[in-house]
Amino acid sequence: QKEVEQDPGPLSVPEGAIVSLNCTYSNSAFQYFMWYRQYSRKGPELLMYTYSSGNKEDGRFTAQVDKSSKYISLFIRDSQPSDSATYLCAMSTNAGKSTFGDGTTLTVKP
Amino acid sequence: DGGITQSPKYLFRKEGQNVTLSCEQNLNHDAMYWYRQDPGQGLRLIYYSQIVNDFQKGDIAEGYSVSREKKESFPLTVTSAQKNPTAFYLCASSTSGRATGELFFGEGSRLTVL
C-alpha cells in the first residue's frame, strides 16, 4: 500500500467553480505538507506549503491539513482556465525526503 | 535569474547505451535530487545528495548512477542496466538545514529509448 494516496481524477469543472483536491497518508511521521502544480511537459512548482494542522490561505488557494485523520486538501476558489494542470500532493518527515501522490489532473473549462 | 537548468530537454537512446542527463543550479542550494515520473504517476526518488561528494540511493536507484563533484552540478547517468528507462526525469534542489521537503524543480528531461 502506498504511503500517500491521491484522488486520481481527472477532474473537469466550469470556470468559476470551487475545486477540492485531496490526499490521504498512512505515515504518522509526516510533518510537512506541500502542494505542487505541474503544467504539461514542465517541472512541478511549489504552490502551497503547510506544517501544522489547520488551514493556510494564499489568494484563491487554501491548503487544509487534518493530522488526526491523516488527510490533506487543496481548495481552489473561482477556478480559472489557467489553473488547468496536474496537482501533486507531497509530504515529508524531518529527514527532508518528499513522498508524492500520483497527481490529479484538473481541467477548467471557459 | 536563479534556477535549475536541465539538459537536454529531449533525448533519444538506443537500447544498450548509457546516457547522462545534466542538472545545474545557481540557487546555492546544498541538496539536490533526481526524480522519475511516468505517465499518470507521481514522482519517484532515484538519488539525492545533501552535500558535495556524498549521495544516497532513493527508492528506485537500480540502473542509475550519479556524481556530486560540485555544489552546482548533479548529473544522472541512465545505464543499460535500467530495464525501462523511457520516462520524464526531474532534477530538484532544496536548501540545507530546512528539512521541510520544499523542492525547486527544473523543466525536466524526457528520455525515450528506441
Distance, CA of A36 to chain centre:
7
**A35: nearest Cα among A94, A104, A82:** A104
Q: How far is B4 from chain A (nearest CA, A)?
A: 10
pLDDT tens, B60-104? 999 999 999 999 999 999 998 888 899 999 999 998 655 566 899
pLDDT for B65? 97
pLDDT above 60 for A79:
yes
CA distances from A13 to A18, A19, A76, A84, B10 (A): 8, 8, 11, 10, 32
Selected for mutation to probe chain A from B34, B43, B59 (highest A CB count within 10 Å) is B43
Specify the 3-state DSSP secondary structure of B63. coil
Q: How far is A2 from chain B (nearest CA, A)?
A: 11
pLDDT above 70 for B1:
no
Quickly tell me which residue has 556524481 as its cell: B67
pLDDT for A105? 95
Specify the 3-state DSSP secondary structure of A39. coil
Q: How confident is the model at residue B35 (pLDDT cuts 50, 70, 90)?
A: very high
Which cell is A21 given? 483536491
Percent of chain A beyond pLDDT 70?
A: 98
Specify the 3-state DSSP secondary structure of A82. helix
Rounded mean pLDDT, A12-36: 95
Handedness of CA B25, B66, A103, B82 (dihedral sign): positive
**Of A25-29, A52-56, A101-105, where does mean pLDDT reach its minimum?**
A52-56
Residue A97, chain B, CB below 8 Å: the answer is yes
Specify the 3-state DSSP secondary structure of B42. coil
Q: Which of residues 21 through 60 in chain B touch A, CB cutoff 8 A?
A: 31, 40-45, 48, 50, 58
Selected for mutation to probe chain A from B45, B49, B102, B104 (highest A CB count within 10 Å) is B102
Contacts of A49 in chain B (CB under 8 A): 100, 102
How many inter-chain contacts (A to B, CB under 8 Å) are there? 70
Give the total residue count for chain A: 110
CA distances from A28 to A8, B20, B54 (A): 22, 37, 29
Distance between CA atoms of B66 and B78, rounded to whole angstroms?
9
Rounded mean pLDDT, B39-67: 93
* Phi and psi torsions of A83, nearest 5°: -80, -5
For residue A44, whether the previous peptide bond is cis, meaning omega lies within 30 degrees of 0, is no
Q: How confident is the model at residue B39 (pLDDT cuts 50, 70, 90)?
A: confident
Cβ(B73)–Cβ(B24) below 8 Å: yes
Q: How far is A5 from chain B (nearest CA, A)?
A: 10
pLDDT above 60 for A53:
yes
Rounded mean pLDDT, B27-51: 92
Neighbouring-strand partners of residue A61: A58, A76
CB contact (8 A) between residue B90 and residue A42: no
pLDDT tens, B7-26? 999 999 888 899 999 999 99
Cβ(B58)–Cβ(B44) below 8 Å: yes
Q: From B87, which residue of chain A is nearest by alpha-carbon distance?
A: A41
Rounded mean pLDDT, A32-53: 92
Quickly tell me which residue has 528506441 as its cell: B114
Contacts of A100 in chain B (CB under 8 A): 42-44
